[in-house]
Amino acid sequence: MVVTLVAGLIGLRLVAQLVLNALNASEVRRHAAGPPPAVAAIMDAATYQRAVGYSLAKLAFDSIEETADAAVLAAVIFSGILPRLYAPFRGLAPEGAWNGALYLLAVGLLLGLVSLPFDWWGQFRLEERFGFNQGTVRLWVADKLKGLLLIAGLGFPLLWALLGLVRWTGDRWWLWGFALLFGFQLLLMVAYPRLILPLFNRLTPLPEGGLRERLLALADRTGFCARTIQVMDGSRRSAHSNAFFIGFGRFRRIVLYDTLVSQLAPAELEAVLAHEIGHYKRGHIPKMLAVSALLQAGGFALVAWLARSAWFNAAFGFPPGELAPAFLLFGLLSGLVTFWFLPVFNLVSRRHEYEADAFARDAVRGPGPMVDALRKLARKNLSNLTPHPVYSGFHYSHPTPVERERALTA
């Protein structure tokens, strides 16, 4: 019964993903010959045709990757390989917790190896073809190795502590487990810009001059006190651009991609920064943290219940009551359910984007700079400006540039 249900959910999600991709590809092709006026105002004909080609290539690649992901998930779930791998790890310390943590890391590593060819192809074939990739194979390998070391160095002790909570705290371990993980995430928000991000990217202060003074004046004017504005060398890997702030309180930092600084005029950069400040001033970060906390607490409670249930682990060949397999199965299978809630999450996220855009419009005294920035970034990133509405609901956490421009100028 359980196995049949899981097989049905895997197939149903894959069918939905492929149908969504097909709908979106059809919508892109439908507008390829003659884009709507709002789109024509953003992109010239040559750029629009490149954007169409980029969107269709990504959709085709996504369909292949999603099919492969579904096949791998079905194989590892139904072949019995996961419980066979668990047996020797369990034998290392039947009453311990570190062996379960080691098992989870080992399975995660093996599944990560399966995704490496797709990751490589996406960067060095797809992104390269459209002029976005600026990284090297050497840098790509170095990033993967650094990521692996970070997962081992941070993930192993965290998993060990989570699995050990059952012995230390009893049936209420999941409450302590949630507190431990959420506290770790808050700590990581402080440590990330200082200890982790510099392992992958170089951060340098924005040079003295008119741009820095303009952006700092905006921060003061909007009540966003940041210690520094830094530029990140995102161009080492990609021509795509972004801006964000990291940390909180006295540890807050504004970060601009160097590609963004080179692509936008000072007034446009000011509008983009005002948008990011808008997320902070409108309380989006604590709201999303609260939602994340509720979901994590619910997830831990569900894992605890599943681990206690005699039927759950046994349905997939694991010993009943073992926590490490319950964590693994929950991690592998939860996406089959959460996929269907993506439109709800994206709806909330898009509402936040509209609110941040409105804040930016007021902060820079008019919609012009933000509209210009959105148009320029859409051209530089070859954005899909005509997505199918249903596909957009499942995959777009941001409104399209056309939708954002319409809201800004309403």
Q: Where are the domains of the chain?
A: 2-186
CB contact at 8 A, 44 and 377: no
Mean pLDDT of all residues in 148-167: 91
The pLDDT assigned to 224 comes to: 84
Alpha helix ranges (H) inside 31-97 = 37-40, 45-78, 81-92
Statement: residue 391 has pLDDT above 90: yes
- Whole-number pLDDT of residue 251: 62
Q: CA angle 323-304-7, nearest 5°?
A: 75
- Which residue type occupies 326? A
Q: Residue 399 corresponds to which tokens in the numbers above?
A: 């409104």
pLDDT, residue 378, reads: 95
Sheet holding 203-205, edge to edge: 203-205, 229-232, 253-257, 243-246
Report the distance separating Cα 1 and Cα 288, nearest Å.
36
pLDDT attached to residue 250:
62
Percent of the chain exceeding pLDDT 70 equals: 98
CB 348 within 8 A of CB 341: no
Instruction: State residue 306's pLDDT score.
Output: 94
pLDDT per residue over 66-124, tens digit each?
999 999 999 999 999 999 999 999 888 767 788 999 999 999 999 999 999 999 999 99
Taking residues 313-331, what's their average pLDDT? Answer: 93
| Cα distance between residue 339 and residue 346, in whole Å | 11
59 pLDDT above the threshold of 70: yes
Model confidence pLDDT, tens digit, residues 245-302: 776 666 677 788 999 999 999 999 999 999 999 998 999 989 999 999 999 999 999 9
The mean pLDDT value of the chain amounts to 92
Q: How sure is the predictor about 195, in pLDDT bands with cuts at 50, 70 and 90? A: confident
Residues annotated as catalytic are 276, 357
Distance CA(251)–CA(391), nearest Å, equals 38
Work out the percent of the chain whose per-residue pLDDT is above 90: 78
The mean pLDDT value for 9-19 works out to: 98
Contact 127, 186 (CB under 8 A): no
Q: 389: how many CB neighbours lie within 10 A of its CB?
A: 10
Statement: residue 228 has pLDDT above 80: no
Q: What is the pLDDT of residue 48?
A: 95
pLDDT over threshold 90, residue 223: no
Q: Residue 150: pLDDT above 80?
A: yes
Q: Give the mean model confidence (pLDDT) for residues 199-215.
A: 90
Exposure string for 284-310, b = 16+ CB within 10 A, e = fewer: beeeeeeeebeebbebbeebbebbeee
Q: Residue 35: its pLDDT value, please?
A: 87
In eight-state DSSP terms, residue 170 is G
Quickly tell me which residue has 């959910």 as its tokens.
9
pLDDT exceeds 90 at position 34: no
- In the predicted model, what is the mean pLDDT of residues 10-33? 96
**pLDDT above 80: residue 64:** yes
Own/partner contacts of 164-168, CB < 8 Å, gap of 24 or more, are 164/97, 166/97, 166/323, 167/97
255: left (phi over 0), alpha (psi -120 to 50) or beta: beta
Among 370, 381, 376, smallest CA distance to 404 is for 370
pLDDT confidence of 227, banded at 50, 70, 90? low
Do residues 88 and 60 make contact, with C-beta atoms less than 8 angstroms apart? no
Q: Which of 55-59, 217-221, 273-277 has the lowest mean pLDDT?
A: 217-221
Distance in angstroms (rounded) separating the CA atoms of residues 212 and 270: 10
Residue 167 has pLDDT above 90, yes or no: no
Supply 343's token pair: 């439109």
Bridging pattern class, strands 203-205 and 243-246: unpaired
Distance, CA of 188 to CA of 156 (rounded, Å): 15
Q: What is the pTM of this model?
A: 0.92
What pLDDT sits at residue 247? 65
* Nearest CA among 193, 243, 247 for reference residue 356: 243
41 in helix, strand or coil?
A: coil
Compute the C-alpha angle 375/378/382, nearest 5°.
145
